[in-house]
């Protein structure tokens, strides 16, 4: 069985091409089952890629099937086999093939594709390993730790001030889409949106309702600031809406102010106040840039992990070729052992039960020890020298031949 | 035996210091190496102290250099309680070079020697020195935490783009920790001082170290009152902790001038 991958991604095809061969989960599941036709196939389709994975006895035929399903005549596709295909999926699961290195969404998409696919022993192992490698990379490196967007950078900075954001009260000034995105990033980390204000009371009320918060009039900033830990401001006001004088004495309690508006909503002098930390859009973008370069640095370490795991998968896949040969070798040895013991039954009659068990155990151990080295060597050779070695072993041990023929005594 | 154990302890602390520096340069790369360096170094130093105690007749760390050796062990031990967590690795960058340096100073000044007999053999004095040094170790650690707080606070104020790179603990966490460490260390120091004063009544004289110790106690006591009574937090609290630590350093230097006779 060969592992075959056919697909395309954002690296090869623009969105207008990718959208032609994009599948939702149900369609991907149906396609995989149709292409597997009793064998193994998984379809991974996300906004950045559509890939078909096969475990197939005829890799050429699998490639043709995949290319046909993905409009290979019109769409530029990559084709990979065995270790290369495994390495590719491991890189995808680790987020190394994503636009933002280490992004976490892809791991869930790989899991969904795996669960919806038609998988047998090879693709089952491949996808389980891919999920494990994806998690390992995110645990052993810092690739997924730093924020990749302005709103997640704002939330990460708030955590740098307050630690856990559970119990932190957020005040939204402005009720547009930008405020909402930042609010979602903050609530995802445990913060509570306490109050919302906007020049248009309706939009403030709408956003407040979405977060189970209170909407307050726009001219009541001061009292709210006393109760707040984090302020997110994103209005379209041409003038600053929050001045230094409006910020009350914090008495040692930090206040984190996120100004996402252009022109800025918050007077820069607010940053001079003790215990007050002000970040505007440029500051946040600089944090994101730094964070992305950090992710790229971590990606080098992640690549090493992924390559090592792909080699392990290759060894496992290669060992599959020798499994039947090893099984027949063991079976044959056991047949000979038990047959010879049966022949000697008459001479062993005088033995006690315990002595019989000793003889059983002794003969089993001799057989196991004799077979141990050949079996280990076969497994090792399978990874490096392919199936040829298995054939040699079959020939030397007479595996698959008629037992009576191989049992014949050599002529003197 | 004790001298032989110095080198592995020193090398392990040194390795931890270098690894922490490497980890600060490239976070996540050498953190585990640093943590293991701290653990191994501390275990070896524990063995070193046990060897000294086994060979000494009485309290074995009754010299300035000897007390420095014990002090380093206490500081690293206190650091080990939570310092090995990934978010506190930056703290190791402060603590471990200092620990390696002070251990080397202690070695050079004869802190690993065992004379075989001690002028101070009473359990009372052992308690006094042990408790005072444990208190100082706690205060040293709180100063390191306050230093880390001020660095982190400055980075956030400056809006540095690399502020998230080092994955340091949050400001609120650091602030709470250095205050709690002082709140734990000060009673230990108080107990050690009380034991010392109980002995002082039997004819000893006040010396500069005793005066400095009382002053330090007063500064940290005032800090705790302001912190928990008047809600003193943030930068001011961190500076007050560092001011108290300046007195701890002065005490270590004064110790050299003859508190042990």
Tens of pLDDT, residue by residue over A73-119, are 889 999 999 899 999 999 999 999 988 888 888 999 999 999 999 98
Residue of A nearest to B168 (CA): A160
Longest Cα–Cα distance of chain B, Å, equals: 61
The pLDDT, as a whole number, for residue A270 is 94
The pLDDT, as a whole number, for residue B4 is 81
Can you give the residue ranges of every domain in chain B? 1-118, 122-261
Instruction: Rounding to the nearest 10 degrees, give the CA dihedral for residues A311, A315, A316, A317.
Output: 90
Contact by Cβ (8 Å): A247, A259: no
Q: Give the integer Cα–Cα distance in Å for B35 and B19.
A: 9
Q: Give the integer Cα–Cα distance in Å for B199 and B167.
A: 47
- Please answer yes or no on whether B171 and A146 come within 8 Å at the CB atom: no
The terminus-to-terminus CA distance of chain A in angstroms comes to: 43
- Tell me the mean pLDDT in the region A280-304: 90
The pLDDT, as a whole number, for residue A221 is 85
A26-60 exposure pattern, b = at least 16 Cβ within 10 A, e = fewer: eebbebbeebbeebbbbbbbbebbbbbbbbbeebe
Tens of pLDDT, residue by residue over A48-64, are 899 999 999 899 999 99
Q: Considering only CB atoms, which chain B residues are within 8 Å of A141? A: 28
The full 3-state SS of B146-185, as one line of letters, equals: HHHHHHHHHHHHHCCCCCCCCCCCCHHHHHHHHHHHHHHH
The pLDDT, as a whole number, for residue A405 is 47
Q: Mutate one of B24, B32, B171, B176 to test the A interface: name it (highest A CB count within 10 A).
A: B171
Nearest by CB: B159 against A147, A274, A279: A279
The terminus-to-terminus CA distance of chain B in angstroms comes to: 27
Nearest by CB: B235 against A271, A274, A287: A274
What's the CATH number for A2-140? Answer: 3.30.460.30
Instruction: Rounding to the nearest 10 degrees, give the CA dihedral for residues A80, A83, A87, A89.
Output: 60
- Tell me the mean pLDDT in the region A361-389: 82
- Tell me the mean pLDDT in the region A207-234: 91
- Write down the pTM of the prediction: 0.71
The pLDDT, as a whole number, for residue A411 is 42
Q: Which of A26-35, A86-95, A355-364, B110-119 has the lowest mean pLDDT?
A: B110-119
Nearest by CB: A160 against B27, B29, B170: B170
- Tell me the mean pLDDT in the region A281-298: 90
Q: Tell me how many residue pairs between chain A and chain B have CB atoms under 8 A apart.
A: 74
Tens of pLDDT, residue by residue over A112-162, are 999 999 988 899 999 999 999 999 999 888 888 788 889 999 999 999 999
The pLDDT, as a whole number, for residue A140 is 86
Tens of pLDDT, residue by residue over A327-339, are 888 888 998 999 9
Residue B28 CA, chain-centre distance (Å), reads 26
Residue B237 CA, chain-centre distance (Å), reads 19
Q: Is A47 a catalytic residue?
A: yes
The pLDDT, as a whole number, for residue A306 is 95
Q: Considering only CB atoms, which chain B residues are within 8 Å of A283? A: 159, 161
The pLDDT, as a whole number, for residue B184 is 92
Tens of pLDDT, residue by residue over A247-271, are 988 777 899 999 999 999 999 999 9
Nearest by CB: A162 against B26, B29, B170: B170
Q: A141 CB near a chain B CB, below 8 Å?
A: yes
The pLDDT, as a whole number, for residue B122 is 64
pLDDT digit string (tens) for chain B, length 261 residues: 667 888 999 999 999 999 988 887 776 668 888 889 999 999 999 999 888 888 777 677 777 788 888 889 988 988 888 777 777 777 888 889 989 998 998 888 887 776 555 555 567 777 888 888 889 888 988 998 999 999 999 999 999 988 888 778 899 989 998 999 999 999 999 999 888 887 766 566 667 778 888 899 999 999 999 988 888 888 889 999 999 999 888 877 776 555 554
Can you give the residue ranges of every domain in chain A? 2-140, 150-289, 314-407
ipTM, two decimals: 0.78
Residue of B nearest to A289 (CA): B161
High-pLDDT (> 70) share of chain A, %: 96
The helices-and-strands tally (H runs, E runs) of chain A is 14, 10
The pLDDT, as a whole number, for residue A379 is 78
Question: What homologous superfamily is domain A150-289 in, according to CATH?
Answer: NAD(P)-binding Rossmann-like Domain (3.40.50.720)
B6, containing H or E segment:
helix B2-25
Query: Is pLDDT above 60 for A282?
Result: yes
- Please answer yes or no on whether B171 and A159 come within 8 Å at the CB atom: no
The pLDDT, as a whole number, for residue A345 is 83
In 3D, which of A9, A3, A35 has the Cα closest to residue A21?
Answer: A9
CATH of B1-118, one of 3.30.1050, 1.20.140, 1.10.3470, 1.20.120: 1.20.120
Q: Mutate one of B88, B166, B170, B239 to test the A interface: name it (highest A CB count within 10 A).
A: B170
Q: B154 CB near a chain A CB, below 8 Å?
A: no
């Amino acid at each position: 069985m060969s592992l075959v991958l056919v697909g395309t991604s954002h690296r090869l095809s623009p969105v207008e091409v990718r959208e032609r061969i994009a599948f939702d989960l149900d369609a991907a599941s149906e396609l995989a089952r149709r292409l597997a036709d009793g064998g193994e196939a998984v379809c991974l389709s996300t906004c950045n890629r559509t890939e078909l994975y096969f475990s197939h006895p005829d890799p050429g035929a699998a490639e043709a099937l995949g290319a046909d399903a993905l409009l290979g005549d019109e769409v530029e596709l990559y084709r990979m086999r065995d270790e290369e295909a495994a390495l590719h999926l491991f890189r995808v699961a680790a987020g190394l093939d994503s636009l933002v290195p280490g992004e976490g969404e892809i791991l869930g998409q790989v899991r969904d594709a795996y669960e919806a696919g038609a998988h047998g022993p090879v693709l089952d192992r491949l996808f389980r390993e891919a999920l494990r490698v994806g998690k390992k990379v995110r645990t052993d490196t810092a690739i997924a730790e730093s924020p990749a967007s302005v709103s997640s950078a704002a939330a990460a900075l708030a955590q740098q001030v307050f630690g856990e954001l559970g119990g932190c009260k957020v005040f939204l000034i402005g009720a547009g889409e930008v405020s909402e995105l930042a609010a979602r990033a903050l609530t995802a980390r445990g913060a509570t949106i306490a109050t919302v204000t906007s020049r248009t009371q309706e939009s403030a009320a709408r956003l407040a309702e979405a977060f189970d918060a209170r909407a307050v009039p726009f001219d009541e900033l001061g009292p709210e600031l006393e109760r707040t830990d984090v302020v997110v401001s994103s209005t379209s006001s041409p003038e600053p809406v929050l001045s230094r004088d409006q910020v009350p004495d914090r008495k040692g309690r930090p206040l984190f102010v996120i100004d996402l508006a252009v022109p800025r909503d918050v007077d820069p002098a607010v940053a001079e106040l003790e215990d007050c930390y002000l970040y505007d859009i440029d500051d946040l973008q600089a944090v994101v840039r730094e964070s992305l370069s950090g992710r790229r640095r971590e990606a080098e370490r992640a690549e090493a992990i992924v390559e090592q795991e792909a080699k392990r998968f290759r060894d496992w896949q290669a060992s599959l070729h020798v499994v039947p040969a090893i099984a027949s070798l063991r079976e044959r040895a056991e047949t000979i052992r038990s047959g010879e013991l049966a022949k000697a039954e008459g001479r062993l009659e005088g033995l006690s039960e315990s002595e019989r068990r000793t003889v059983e155990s002794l003969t089993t151990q001799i057989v196991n020890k004799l077979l141990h080295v050949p079996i280990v060597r076969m497994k090792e050779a399978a990874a490096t020298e392919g199936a040829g070695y298995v054939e040699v072993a079959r020939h030397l041990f007479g595996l698959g031949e008629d037992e009576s023929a191989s049992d014949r005594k050599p002529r003197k | 035996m004790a001298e032989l154990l110095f080198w592995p302890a020193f090398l392990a602390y040194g390795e931890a210091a270098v690894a922490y520096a490497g980890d600060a340069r490239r976070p996540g790369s050498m953190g585990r190496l640093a943590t293991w360096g701290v653990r191994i170094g501390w275990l070896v130093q524990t063995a070193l102290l046990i060897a000294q105690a086994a060979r000494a007749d009485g309290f074995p760390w009754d010299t300035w250099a000897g007390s420095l050796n014990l002090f380093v062990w206490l500081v690293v031990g206190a650091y080990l309680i939570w310092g090995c967590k990934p978010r506190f690795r930056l703290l190791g960058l402060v603590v471990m070079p200092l620990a390696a340096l002070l251990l080397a100073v202690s070695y050079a000044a004869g802190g690993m020697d065992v004379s075989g007999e001690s002028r101070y053999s009473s359990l009372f004095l052992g308690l006094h020195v042990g408790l005072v040094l444990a208190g100082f170790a706690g205060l040293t650690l709180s100063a390191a935490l306050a230093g880390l707080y001020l660095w982190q606070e400055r980075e956030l104020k400056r809006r540095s783009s690399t502020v998230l790179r080092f994955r340091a603990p949050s400001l609120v966490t650091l602030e709470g920790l250095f205050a709690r460490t002082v709140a734990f260390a000060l009673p230990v120091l108080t107990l050690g001082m009380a034991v010392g004063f109980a002995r002082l009544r039997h004819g000893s004289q006040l010396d500069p170290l005793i005066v400095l110790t009382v002053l330090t106690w007063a500064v940290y006591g005032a800090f705790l009152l302001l912190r928990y009574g008047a809600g003193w937090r943030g930068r001011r609290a961190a500076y007050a902790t560092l001011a108290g630590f300046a007195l701890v350093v002065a005490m270590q230097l004064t110790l050299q001038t003859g508190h042990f006779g």
